[in-house]
């Protein structure tokens, strides 16, 4: 029996050891194989008389996209590009003799990159046209955001079966109050700011008059800017464009052509034939290169500077949370560490903070702000606002010496609030109760098992008031404004970049490039500098293991039915609550999940 047990035990140990070795070396081999496959890259070949193609379904974001194994091994073009890559590609193509035109291909378009990002791309495309080269565009379902870019084309073609949207922009905030009441979840709110509508989804079933007013002013400002820019390009007055939006909204291609909104009604092959004429191409297929491939193609006379003098570009993209946060969040602790390293790096001569955030944790925002202020004592810090830089995002922006924004950037929202949830009713209805033993009156102040008393609410309100007062002081000092004036333009009110510049919250209009150029001038480095982007991408092996253990399952909204799309939007709204982790329960956040339609 003893020998049998020994043999059995030895067999089990041997089997486990074998499995361990197989697993270890098996996974290692797979990782090594994948790294090898990923590293064996052939440089794309670019022929003369080629066309640079921008797929309008490409998602354009500030930060380098998160990579997964499927993306690396797939033969498909990268579906996500950074804004900087797109801008640099357009600038590079304007000087590249091999590129004769840009093709804006909307065959599968569902563009949602934001109006501020689109504004930067639009400016780059205008400069491309000024170089004497052509832009040809083709689309099927023309959204307003796509039209903001394609309206610049020398020739804009729309599929005969397509449609064009020109019906204004809007937003549709979601309200939770009825559901919270139905399920017995109590909500109490402490806030400062007449316009601080971030708490309205938990208290109301519709917009307050103040919140509706600010949204109307904001959207009208962005829309007026849109009409002005598109009208100038298409040589149509903004008033006429407004009449079309009010009277028709959705146009068939033939109607859009008659109104001179587009140039031709035809299929994609028509756009290809025009591009072949431009490039004098007699071959069967069009000579083309995608934006993702063009990133890696060198151009004679157009090279990135190599220098020991660095301008650090730090991307703060996502909701601001306390602590480390996830890859999609701006974690106060994580970014504070990163900024300290940048501040101590002697090669870094200036820092550009690119903010694309609706805000979030007041504590996380202030931790990041302090590190920016410490850097500012040693080297210039310039702020570049993306699509959204509001609430906590603006809190952070006060640390810079100069703020750049686009006219259609969403900013401001200078206000704070706290949401106090309790589950007493829903728990009691299901037979759950609590009792408490405490040594002081407020020992259970932070409990979620009952509503707060008036005295407890007063404690929270005092804390919110203090944080709001600090916010006002930081803005007043940073913007050289009186605290009284800041109080008048604060109140949680949201502003467009255009309005923010008029009231002194923003210094200049311009995109990321403008901020970088300004930073270079502040350092007197001439052209002897190089951009260094942060956070840096992790190695492939780390990404592989991370994605193996934590694969994000995503559904593309344009491939699902309308009901599922609404549930996906609902899921996005839930993320707002998941970001509520401030240790003091105080937040500076936009009054809605920002989405223009």
Task: Find the angle CA(459)-CA(494)-CA(489) to the nearest 5 degrees.
Answer: 75
Q: From CA 124, how far away is CA 349, in angstroms rounded?
A: 26
Nearest to 110 by CA among 62, 55, 163, 158: 55
Please say whether the beta carbons of 523 and 349 come within 8 A. yes
Q: From CA 353, how far away is CA 516, in angstroms rounded?
A: 10
Burial of residue 346, with CB atoms counted within 10 A of its CB: 0-12 exposed, 13-18 middle, 19 or more buried: exposed
Please say whether the beta carbons of 135 and 104 come within 8 A. yes
DSSP secondary structure, 541-561, as one string: HHHHHHHHHSPPP---GGGS-
Q: Are strands 381-390 and 330-331 parallel, antiparallel or unpaired?
A: unpaired
Q: From CA 586, how far away is CA 237, in angstroms rounded?
A: 46
Can you name the residues that pair with 81 across neighbouring β-strands? 60
> What SS3 state is found at 124?
helix
* Tokens representing residue 318 in the block: 């996502």
Compute, in degrees rounded to 10, the torsion defined by CA atoms 555, 558, 562, 565. 40
φ, ψ at 299 (rounded to 5°): -125, 130
Query: How would you classify residue 102: left for phi > 0, otherwise alpha for psi between -120 and 50, otherwise beta?
Result: beta
φ, ψ at 366 (rounded to 5°): -70, -35
Helices (H) and strands (E) in the chain, counts: 22, 23
* Tokens representing residue 208 in the block: 């307050």
Q: Are strands 402-405 and 381-390 parallel, antiparallel or unpaired?
A: parallel
Q: List the catalytic residues.
A: 196, 391
Please say whether the beta carbons of 493 and 499 come within 8 A. no
Q: What is the DSSP letter of 64?
A: P
CB 45: neighbour CB atoms within 10 A?
9
Buried b (16+ CB within 10 A) or exposed e, 266-276: bebebbbebbb
Task: Find the angle CA(485)-CA(489)-CA(495) to the nearest 5 degrees.
Answer: 145
Place of tokens 């200036």: 350
């Amino acid at each position: 029996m003893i020998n049998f047990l020994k043999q059995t035990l030895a067999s089990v140990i041997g089997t486990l050891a074998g499995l361990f070795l197989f697993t270890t070396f098996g996974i290692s081999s797979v990782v090594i194989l994948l790294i090898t496959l990923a590293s064996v890259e052939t440089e794309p070949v670019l022929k003369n008389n080629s066309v640079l193609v921008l797929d309008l379904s490409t998602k354009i974001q500030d930060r380098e996209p998160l990579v997964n194994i499927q993306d690396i091994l797939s033969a498909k073009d990268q579906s996500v590009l950074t804004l900087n890559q797109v801008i640099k590609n357009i600038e590079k193509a304007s000087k590249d003799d091999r590129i004769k035109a840009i093709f804006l291909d909307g065959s599968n378009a569902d563009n949602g990159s934001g109006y501020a990002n689109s504004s930067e791309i639009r400016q780059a495309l205008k400069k491309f046209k000024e170089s004497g080269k052509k832009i040809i565009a083709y689309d099927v379902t023309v959204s307003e955001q796509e039209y903001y870019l394609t309206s610049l084309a020398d020739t804009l073609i729309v599929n005969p079966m397509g449609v064009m949207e020109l019906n204004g922009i809007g937003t549709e905030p979601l309200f939770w109050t009825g559901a919270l009441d139905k399920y017995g979840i109590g909500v109490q709110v402490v806030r400062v700011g007449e316009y601080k509508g971030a708490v309205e989804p938990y208290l109301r079933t519709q917009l307050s008059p103040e919140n509706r007013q600010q949204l109307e002013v904001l959207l009208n400002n962005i829309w007026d800017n849109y009409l002005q820019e598109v009208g100038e390009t298409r040589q149509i007055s903004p008033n006429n464009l407004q009449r079309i939006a009010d009277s028709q909204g959705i146009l068939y291609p033939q109607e859009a052509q008659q109104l001179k909104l587009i140039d031709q009604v035809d299929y994609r092959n028509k756009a290809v034939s025009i591009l072949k004429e431009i490039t004098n191409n007699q071959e069967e297929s069009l000579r083309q290169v995608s934006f993702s491939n063009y990133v890696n193609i060198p151009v004679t006379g157009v090279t990135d500077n190599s220098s020991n003098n660095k301008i650090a570009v730090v991307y703060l993209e996502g909701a601001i949370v306390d602590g480390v946060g996830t890859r999609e969040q701006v974690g106060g602790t994580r970014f504070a560490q990163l900024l300290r390293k940048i501040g101590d790096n002697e090669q870094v001569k200036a820092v550009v903070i690119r903010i694309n955030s609706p805000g979030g944790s007041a504590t996380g925002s202030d931790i990041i702000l302090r590190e920016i202020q410490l850097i500012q004592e040693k080297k210039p810090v310039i702020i570049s606002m993306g699509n959204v830089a509001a609430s906590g995002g603006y809190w952070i922006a006060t640390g810079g010496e100069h703020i750049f924004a686009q006219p259609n950037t969403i900013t401001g929202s200078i206000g704070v609030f706290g949401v106090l949830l309790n589950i007493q009713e829903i728990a009691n209805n299901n037979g759950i109760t609590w009792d408490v033993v405490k040594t002081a009156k407020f020992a259970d102040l932070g409990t979620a098992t009952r509503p707060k008393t008036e005295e407890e609410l007063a404690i929270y309100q005092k804390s919110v008031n203090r944080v709001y007062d600090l916010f006002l002081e930081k803005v007043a000092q940073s913007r050289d404004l009186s605290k009284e004036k800041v109080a008048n333009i604060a109140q949680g009110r949201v502003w467009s970049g255009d309005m923010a510049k008029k009231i002194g919250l923003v210094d200049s209009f311009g995109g990321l490039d403008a901020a970088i150029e300004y930073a270079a001038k502040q350092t007197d480095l001439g052209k002897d500098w190089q951009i260094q982007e942060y956070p840096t991408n992790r190695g492939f092996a780390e990404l592989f293991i991370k994605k193996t253990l934590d694969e994000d399952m995503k559904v593309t909204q344009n491939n699902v039915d309308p009901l599922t799309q609404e549930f996906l939007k609902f899921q996005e709204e839930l993320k707002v609550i998941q970001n509520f982790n401030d240790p003091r329960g105080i937040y500076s956040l936009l009054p809605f999940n920002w989405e223009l339609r």
